[in-house]
Amino acid sequence: MPLEGLEPPTLSLGRNCSSIELQRLTPKVYRRPSRASVGVMKIYLVTMGSRGDNEPFRALALEAVRRGHDVHFAHTSDLPQNPEAPYTEWELPGSVSAFIANQGVSVITALREYKEVALPLLQGIWDTSSKQIRELQPDVVVYHPKVQSAPVIAHEVGAHAVISEIVPMLTPTREFAAAGIPLRLPGWLNRASYSLVAAGIAASGNQSKNLAKQLGVSSWAPDQVLCPVSRSLVPQPGDWPNTAVITGQWWHHSTESLDNALQDFVASTNVLYAGFGSMKRGDPQKRAQVIAAAARELGMKVLFVTGWGGLSLPRDLANSPDVMVRESVPHEALLPHVSLAIHHGGSGTIHAHLRAGVPSVIMPFIADQPWWAWLLHRAGLGPAALSPNTRSASTVVSALQQANLARPAVAKASEAMSRENGVATAMDAIESAYAA
């Protein structure tokens, strides 16, 4: 029973769219010099994680280069090195994709094996990025929250430290609870929820604070907070300090294209996108079979994007004419041809589908994903979240039908997002703070 009105929306997508070494350097106390004008800044960006953690930093790096700054971008092998990149790339040790392939995304497993498995990976990145910052002596350090050493070493060398708060879960506000908090709290507890996040960081050792004390650096906190999410989804909180800004998503126009087979597959309407990024948990083969059954009941073809293990297809399903499988796809080229989607609800994936006007069903796994699913449902941009362990095709069918009803609201959000330029807003904020 095909859904009515599943043609992909016609949209004009905007283009604007071992431990850390403790040898002492001098001076030990962070003193940021006054600067009369911006000029050319030496900017060091450091990130780690999945595609959703890497791509925003690459987008910001490209915008900084466009403005004439000397840009250095450090990342793990999860983002391939690009010999033609207009910035200097720095390699960090380890691989988050390999880590997830071995461990999955189970919170219980992560906590149980933190010291033996996760901490060595983090420690290697902290050590290496610290050496790179000391060698470069940058003016500005922009860092992922997991790189806890970055603000301390930035201050050690006199740099301006900017945290990219990938999702709003660190800077307290009364307007909403911290992303990642699994409980739905009454509004009067919103600000207090950020204390739970802080307690979790403290329980894992609070590396930034401890390192600052060891090195004699006066500040371990960032000088500036930039949150790369759309203001159409998360408006700027009125009680945030002026050093914290919701910028809009950090993304850049891609020239990647679809391969011929994929182009032919999505040329017709009624294509369902199914992808769960790096979410390796549960039974990925059963998940794919349930989604395929639901799509067939709706008269849809399915593109399975397997990512780092969230989906796995048996041979007979993978070889079906109404199914195509890819490990990864260029979202900007693909999504205008997609009718509906079902995915894990990571921040980058949420933004990409909304920007393209594609209604989605969210199957959240961990961290901030349930928060995004709740936010979209509350805003009328999609149905309530489904469990990633859903075994009923009829349940998935119902959710996809509800998602289709949200198409007008999704189109409106897409239009609002097309007017944002997150990387430009972020660089404006960095340049203003640097010149202050």
CATH class entry, domain 42-250: alpha beta
What residues form DSSP beta bridges with 142?
45, 162
pLDDT digits (tens, 9 = 90+) for 248-283: 999 998 888 999 999 999 997 799 999 988 777 788
| Band of residue 209 on the pLDDT scale cut at 50, 70, 90 | confident
What 3-state DSSP class applies to 345? coil
CA distance 250 to 423: 5
Q: Which two tokens stand for residue 431?
A: 């340049």
Confidence tier at 100 by pLDDT (50, 70, 90): low
Topology alike, domains 42-250 and 260-418 = yes
Range with lowest mean pLDDT among 198-212, 299-313, 408-422: 198-212
User: For the residues 286-311, what does the mean pLDDT come to?
Assistant: 92
Whether residue 330 is predicted with pLDDT greater than 80 in this model: the reply is: yes
Where does residue 316 rank: exposed (0-12), middle (13-18), buried (19+ CB within 10 A)?
Answer: exposed
pLDDT in tens, 167-205: 999 999 999 989 877 667 778 889 998 988 887 777 666
Domains of the chain, by residue range, sit at 42-250, 260-418
Distance CA 288, CA 231 (A): 33
Does 306 or 38 have the greater pLDDT score?
306
Least confident of 27-36, 197-206, 344-353, 419-428: 27-36
- Per the rule left: phi > 0, alpha: psi between -120 and 50, beta: everything else, 259 is beta
Sign of the C-alpha dihedral computed for residues 324, 328, 333 and 334 taken in this order: positive
Residue 83, SS3 per DSSP = coil
List, for residues 69-81, the tens digit of each pLDDT value.
999 999 998 888 8
Closest C-alpha to 173, from 123, 245, 124: 245
Mean per-residue pLDDT, 375-396: 95
Q: Which CATH class is domain 260-418?
A: alpha beta
Using a pLDDT cut of 70, give the percent of the chain over it: 86
Helix axes 393-405, 284-297, angle to 10 degrees: 60
Q: Is the Cβ–Cβ distance between 341 and 362 less than 8 Å?
A: no
Do residues 133 and 215 lie in contact, with contact meaning Cβ atoms separated by under 8 Å? no
Q: How far apart are CA 266 and CA 407, in angstroms?
A: 19
Position 421 scores a pLDDT of: 97
Is the sign of the CA dihedral 258, 62, 77, 47 positive or negative?
A: negative
Interval 129-151: pLDDT, tens: 999 999 999 999 999 999 999 99
